[in-house]
């Protein structure tokens, strides 16, 4: 909790005198950071599940009908892929999406 207060203090210090454009840029970067963090978290979940099932990336890619290189980009968070591919991936891995409000723990 103290660390969060320190970060809030630091932001207040460095943002003194920011323009509206500066704040817009900050918010855009914050949104992009959160999206990247979520992609990386998803990759960790996928890697763990693939290992738990004893699958290779090649085997999984074959089941999904995609190239192993595309699967690798998905797992590393470097690919933008369709919702259909995502749902197929979850289905093959025996996972499901759980929708919860962003401010609530899943």
Average pLDDT of 68-92?
93
**Does residue 98 register a pLDDT over 90?**
no
User: In which band, very low, low, confident or very high, does the pLDDT at 2 lie, cut at 50, 70 and 90?
Assistant: low
Which pTM value belongs to this model? 0.72
Contact 74, 68 (CB under 8 A): no
Q: What is the pLDDT of residues 22-67, one digit of tens each?
A: 999 999 999 999 888 888 899 999 999 999 999 999 999 999 999 9
User: 54 — phi, psi (to 5°)?
Assistant: 70, 25
Q: Where are the alpha helices (DSSP H) in 1-106?
A: 2-15, 20-52, 57-64, 68-75, 83-93
Contact 76, 45 (CB under 8 A): no
**Does residue 101 register a pLDDT over 80?**
yes
């Amino acid at each position: 909790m103290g660390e969060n207060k320190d970060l809030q203090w630091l932001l207040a210090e460095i943002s003194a005198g920011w323009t509206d454009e500066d704040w817009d840029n900050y918010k855009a970067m914050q949104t992009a950071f959160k999206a990247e963090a979520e992609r990386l978290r998803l990759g960790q979940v996928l890697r763990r599940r693939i290992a738990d099932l004893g699958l290779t990336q090649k085997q999984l890619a074959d089941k999904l009908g995609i190239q192993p290189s595309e699967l690798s980009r998905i797992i590393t968070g470097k690919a933008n892929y369709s919702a259909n591919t995502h749902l197929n991936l979850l289905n093959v891995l025996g996972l499901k999406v759980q929708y919860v409000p962003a401010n609530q723990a899943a």
